Structure 1
């Protein structure tokens, strides 16, 4: 397991990673503290590590260790945590998959990642999991009575985790993270937390464990704190936890935050220290409503599957200062520890000043590259990752996001950012969410369409003065109203589904004055399924 690399100065040794040693220490140090609370009750550190050790032993008995790939498919509960730790202890490559994925998407991810074994539970085993690979049910494994004794030394540059992108712009790609990158990312994530978690800290996590929830879970466990895992957002059970002070922080991307704020409107909850908000842009209207309920405690972050810890951070006081200025711009703050940001133009050259371009990121804990149907694709030679996000860096070093390259609408010879239009329309619609897409047009190239989720009865009157004040080529020419916009497992709106739904349920009349005609009355005010 020893490896040497050469540099200009001397021969330098890369030390191996030993997850088993680090994880075992948690049981010794925090034994009877509560580690996990979930729908089943509570689990101490000692109990959690016994379960993780048993899973690692079961993997070893199946010949699974360094170099082998294991998919983990769990809801948000103790089994997900035990499986993650067990795979780490065994030194295998973990592929966390959201149980909400379709069978086809699971097949795609398992094929791309070359999954050999799946860890799951009996309640999910009827979802064709066994057809994908060897299946081990962790709830059939008895907790271990002894400590993990296998040699835990792992090649630091070997793959540790393959995290699949959300697939909003095409088939998901697997971001390959090394053991060294994962170890560094955990240290940096913990170092960048606004307060140090400890024995009396508990974070509420409701989003899928296969994404950011697993990262926050490990960071909190490494600090001797506990995690409250909830499988989805259910305000009727979440609000009592917050009001009673059971949790002192929570992770709530905008979609989750909106549901909780809707249910809590009119209340004042002062028990939380921090709300971590990321995965999508936090709009000013939602921030103002959340502030009324919780106070100025929201911490904005910008992250991606390609990097473990946040790319940028705005602490609560910085977030409150920004939103109090009334700007509709999507500021996500300063680069987090260990992260370098550059902005490149369409020719791949660095821009100057506050010009807009593609956001590029580089760090020691960035992924090694992607796995796709074409095989492994390493990072660029200079180590930068092109995010596909558009943005600029202001005069004080903060990153502002202006949209996605793939989402840019080209209409009448102009390039239009849908996010910019959404920010202009949003305040007039109150609690209703709006998403903007382009509809293919022979006359215009694309026509701007706005889809409004559960609009107020007078939405047209509300939007009229806003539309009149907008630049002409940015003004939406088409509108539809729906009960629910399509979102993926982490709450991001899937724009392609809006476009597909509109063309399937309406007849598009092209020309200088484009319009939509519904195919049937039932196509109005309906839910757009992800399929």
Structure 2
């Protein structure tokens, strides 16, 4: 099971958790505060297998809550603190927790020595929310203890080159948990840090100035960012202190080549990629060792990790040979499916295989290339159009700061690609003229059916609570 005491054995007196407000706790203190949370939850009637929801501002308290619930064998349901009342109510209705923890519900100062309850590997460990559906509504994903541990061990083996837990040196720098702890990326970052024996720094939310202050304080040697975070760093006027940072791992969405190039040229720090999902865990990626060995292939999602069973399947479910495009399907013990949608669960997990909804292919070297999300694909006049391909081209235009491409219904063609553009300021070029220039720019570089039929200018692109650019919502100017 996910057991903090097992992860930190022999390191109890070392600092394991930092808050951005200056507070810190040793691993032993984290374990005892989690014990106090477990006692509080027990007094509220929570026991093994019970779901208990967390609606807290991102910070160390969520870490205490998670490990406290796991000590009882209870199931944390982590709900974004950015949700409004209606979204909170919807999340609670979907997951049916026995208790909703808000600020003031539990004590995060009480300490107690509470041993962790024993649970089976396939027992539900946590419920996380993801927007990965055709409707765009968040789905409640059930993940298991054994699947979570296996995913962490796989990533640790790839990242550190060893199967041993607690492989980090005692004086290793802490890891910044850049993503919120209600998100699978944030939780896995925290658990991974503890898995290899590093401390973790938890903050309320991402911001360039907040990041700069913490970089000065902790001198991090690596980061895990979303592409949108790298975008903000690249477009920040100030320079950040990246000296000593060996690499930046990017996951969650594909990072555009112009943003990647701008970051690496500005800071001389390589960007590594990791491909996975809340439902399937860590699937493929590149490490610093791969980059030094010259194995990296431009445009790829990464080399499929050892131990990952992956197939590329056609629409009828048959496995496709090397080089042919189809849906990425992975055998995984991580998820038990969606707790709120039996039909979607049946589509997601079939005979132990998780259907990612991503389209791609694997080459002869075992390197995975992604073409796009099946739900994002635009069918224009019988042709398949992938938004990411258009976006990558448009981002190279000097007056395009950022762009999102989506499909809009069209009576003749079925769908047409429409570009929502955040423009660079240039008073000499009015919107109407720039729209024409961008269309012509795309027409010179893309097939005619991929050229956006319309360009609309917006002040900003809609982002999810986790910081991803949304493809399910229209964005207002």
Structure 1 stretches (4+) deviating beyond 6 angstroms? 320-325
What CA deviation, in whole Å up to 9, does each residue of 1:136-157 have, x standing for no partner?
x23x35422x4114x7112332
State yes or no: 1:476 paired with 2:452.
yes
Q: Find the aligned partners of 1:391 and 1:172 in 2 and give their Cα distance.
A: 24
Secondary structure of 2:364 counterpart: coil
State yes or no: 1:108 paired with 2:90.
yes
Name structure 1 gaps, 5 residues minimum.
1-16, 123-136, 502-522, 527-531
Picking from 276, 286, 309, the partner of 1:314 is: 286
Picking from 114, 120, 123, the partner of 1:158 is: 123
State yes or no: 1:37 paired with 2:18.
yes
Structure-to-structure mapping, 1:178-217, within 5 angstroms: 178-194=144-160, 196-199=167-170, 200-211=172-183, 212-217=185-190
What CA deviation, in whole Å up to 9, does each residue of 1:260-302 have, x standing for no partner?
2322666672211231210000111111112123324322001
Is residue 202–residue 228 contact of structure 1 (8 Å, CA) maintained in 2?
yes
RMSD: 2.7
Q: Find the aligned partners of 1:426 and 1:167 in 2 and give their Cα distance.
A: 25
What CA deviation, in whole Å up to 9, does each residue of 1:18-66 have, x standing for no partner?
x5xx423556622332211113322222221221000111122223122
Q: CA, structure 1 residues 25+160, in 2 after alignment: closer, same or farther (shift >3 Å)?
A: closer
Q: Find the aligned partners of 1:491 and 1:322 in 2 and give their Cα distance.
A: 31
Residue of structure 2 equivalent to 1:5: none
Q: Find the aligned partners of 1:383 and 1:166 in 2 and give their Cα distance.
A: 22
Picking from 441, 459, 473, the partner of 1:497 is: 473
Is residue 438–residue 447 contact of structure 1 (8 Å, CA) maintained in 2?
yes
Structure-to-structure mapping, 1:19-30, within 5 angstroms: 19=2, 22-25=3-6, 29-30=10-11
Q: CA, structure 1 residues 436+152, in 2 after alignment: closer, same or farther (shift >3 Å)?
A: same
Is residue 429–residue 463 contact of structure 1 (8 Å, CA) maintained in 2?
no
Residue of structure 2 equivalent to 1:251: 224
Residue of structure 2 equivalent to 1:131: none
Is residue 428–residue 463 contact of structure 1 (8 Å, CA) maintained in 2?
no
Which range moves more in the overlay, 223-232 or 260-269? 260-269
Q: Find the aligned partners of 1:167 and 1:183 in 2 and give their Cα distance.
A: 23
Residue of structure 2 equivalent to 1:507: none
Is residue 173–residue 218 contact of structure 2 (8 Å, CA) maintained in 1?
no
Q: Find the aligned partners of 2:257 and 2:295 in 1 and give their Cα distance.
A: 6
What CA deviation, in whole Å up to 9, does each residue of 1:390-449 have, x standing for no partner?
111122111111111111111122221111111222212466111111111112211210
State yes or no: 1:70 paired with 2:52.
yes
Residue of structure 2 equivalent to 1:281: 254
Is residue 267–residue 293 contact of structure 1 (8 Å, CA) maintained in 2?
no
Residue of structure 2 equivalent to 1:126: none
Q: Find the aligned partners of 1:305 and 1:405 in 2 and give their Cα distance.
A: 17
Name structure 2 gaps, 5 residues minimum.
162-166
The aligned length equals 460
- Please, what TM-score do these two structures have when normalized by structure 2? 0.88
Q: CA, structure 1 residues 294+33, in 2 after alignment: closer, same or farther (shift >3 Å)?
A: farther
Picking from 354, 372, 379, the partner of 2:340 is: 372
Q: Find the aligned partners of 1:219 and 1:469 in 2 and give their Cα distance.
A: 42
